[in-house]
Amino acid sequence: MSKSEIWVDGSFSSHRAGIGIDSQWVVGLLSEDQNVQMIYGSTSTLGLQRNLRRMRNLCSLIICRSLLTPKKVKGVFFQPQFTSVIAREKFVRRWIIRVHDIFPVSNPEWFRPWARTIFLRSFSKAINQNAIIVCSSFTTRSRILALYPQSKGNVLVLPCFPRKFPDSKCESCEGCSHVSKLGPHPFFLAVGTIEPRKGFDGLAKFWSDSAINDSRSLVIVGRKGWKSRKIIAAITAATRNSNVFWLKNVCDGSLNVLYQNAQAFISSSLDEGFNLPALEARANFRLPLILSDIPVHQEYHSDAAHFFENFEELENILLGPLNLSKPWDTEKMPKLVADFKKVINSAIADIG
């Protein structure tokens, strides 16, 4: 059986954050069965691709309509990270989008006004076009269906998958500089983009203020994100007490070393669509997990984590023994992958 052609938005293929890691994995799944053609990914550097995405989003906001895909796309179009509408019925006969969360709709206070406007208008357009929506958690799926129950048949779940970390380091980033100085001093690790819903400001302040943390450090790994000025100010203030470190530029090799040497992984997120770093900490390193008590953490780690709802509960967890996380249960993954591929193949067959 010959492979069919599927076009993919490739502008996230080199993104260092979780969305880029997930994009590479999902596109790899597609490539096993179909001929994948990448578009919007002609540039090779992260900075240029980021600017390309921003330009598309800005144009979408200004002209108040969908942006066009190239005319040569006549069939199935897959967008590994949903940001703005770039698919139109004139050129794309079946649109498949990857959606990790709908926070611009449910929690607009975490985003800039233009981002909220683009997402809401674009997501409504996707629903109206009967787009296939591939969520990374059942939590996100249930939230989508609560708002758009008419889309039940088009919404499926495919969890993210942990990457394999390299042993080699770049030897030139902040992460490499930090790991070269690691000693016996214990530290806890938090990973994620610096933005409102991650809760890093409260976590950093708690860590620097609490006397129980005088003999252990908190290492925060994450690049600056949106609406982060006050958050960065709080983190920076906490770093002055020397037991909180913020590493903005960390290669995969040095992150690997940090995971290997951390006492535990901490996530203080107010909400998540999936939380790939928590899965990486568990699946690759069996680190003890200390997680905020939110639905998606319960969905994937209810049997393997210490949960807290406030910093008083976090302090009690830190005073007690920490259990190694159980191995990640992959029993359901083959079926979810098979269901995803079945939907893709059905979409291709429908336009044939």
| Same-domain check for residues 110 and 152 | yes
| Same-domain check for residues 155 and 255 | no
Tell me the β-bridge partners of 9: 39
Sign of CA dihedral 172, 43, 19, 52: positive
Does 315 or 13 have the greater pLDDT score?
315
pLDDT above 70: residue 86: no
Does 21 or 18 have the greater pLDDT score?
21
Q: What pLDDT, on the 0 to 100 scale, is given for residue 308? A: 98
Q: CATH number of the domain at 289, please.
A: 3.40.50.2000
- Asked if residue 116 belongs to a domain, the reply is yes
Q: Which secondary-structure segment (H or E) carries 347?
A: helix 333-351
pLDDT tens digits along 265-324: 999 999 999 999 999 999 999 999 999 999 999 999 999 999 999 999 999 999 999 999
Reported as a pLDDT band with limits 50, 70 and 90, residue 1 is very low
3-class secondary structure per residue, 158-217: CCCCCCCCCCCCCCCCHHHHHHCCCCCCCEEEEECCECHHHCHHHHHHHHHHCHHHCCCE
Q: What pLDDT, on the 0 to 100 scale, is given for residue 49? A: 59
Reported as a pLDDT band with limits 50, 70 and 90, residue 15 is low
| Same-domain check for residues 203 and 101 | no
- Asked if residue 328 belongs to a domain, the reply is no
| Same-domain check for residues 248 and 305 | yes
| Same-domain check for residues 143 and 9 | yes
pLDDT above 80: residue 63: no
Give the domain range for residue 246.
174-319
Q: What pLDDT, on the 0 to 100 scale, is given for residue 48? A: 63
pLDDT tens digits along 66-84: 555 566 676 788 888 886 6
Mean pLDDT of 26-47: 76
Tell me the β-bridge partners of 127: none
| Same-domain check for residues 185 and 271 | yes
Does 348 or 223 have the greater pLDDT score?
223
Distance, CA of 92 to CA of 225 (rounded, Å)? 32
- Asked if residue 166 belongs to a domain, the reply is no
Mean pLDDT of 177-206: 94
- Asked if residue 257 belongs to a domain, the reply is yes
| Same-domain check for residues 339 and 304 | no
Look up residue 171 and give its two tokens: 């030897």
Q: What pLDDT, on the 0 to 100 scale, is given for residue 44? A: 54
| Same-domain check for residues 128 and 190 | no
| Same-domain check for residues 105 and 209 | no
Does 350 or 308 have the greater pLDDT score?
308
Q: Compute φ and ψ for 9, nearest 5 degrees.
A: -70, 110
Does 207 or 351 have the greater pLDDT score?
207
Give me the chain's average pLDDT, please. Answer: 87
| Same-domain check for residues 199 and 258 | yes
Which among 268, 267, 276 is positioned nearest to 328, based on CA atoms? 276
Distance, CA of 85 to CA of 60 (rounded, Å)? 7
| pLDDT-wise least confident of 7-11, 108-112, 207-211, 303-307 | 7-11
- Asked if residue 90 belongs to a domain, the reply is yes
Mean pLDDT of 25-30: 90
pLDDT above 90: residue 242: no
Q: What pLDDT, on the 0 to 100 scale, is given for residue 314? A: 97
Overall domain count for the chain = 2
| Same-domain check for residues 12 and 145 | yes
Q: What pLDDT, on the 0 to 100 scale, is given for residue 85? A: 61
Q: What pLDDT, on the 0 to 100 scale, is given for residue 239? A: 93
Distance, CA of 274 to CA of 135 (rounded, Å)? 9
Q: What pLDDT, on the 0 to 100 scale, is given for residue 133? A: 95
- Asked if residue 310 belongs to a domain, the reply is yes
Does 304 or 215 have the greater pLDDT score?
304
- Asked if residue 119 belongs to a domain, the reply is yes
Does 208 or 75 have the greater pLDDT score?
208
DSSP per-residue codes, 95-132: EEEEES--HHHH-GGGS-HHHHHHHHHHHHHHHHTT-E
Mean pLDDT of 46-72: 61
- Asked if residue 54 belongs to a domain, the reply is yes
1: how many CB neighbours lie within 10 A of its CB? 4
57-83 burial by CB neighbour count: b if 16+ within 10 A, else e?
A: beebbeeeebbebeeebebbbbbbbbb
Distance, CA of 299 to CA of 143 (rounded, Å)? 14
Burial (CB < 10 A; 0-12, 13-18, 19+), residue 292, is buried
pLDDT tens digits along 245-257: 999 999 999 999 9
326-339 burial by CB neighbour count: b if 16+ within 10 A, else e?
A: eebeeeeeeeebee
Q: CATH number of the domain at 114, please.
A: 3.40.50
| Same-domain check for residues 221 and 112 | no
257-278 burial by CB neighbour count: b if 16+ within 10 A, else e?
A: bbbeebbbbbbbbebbbbbbbb
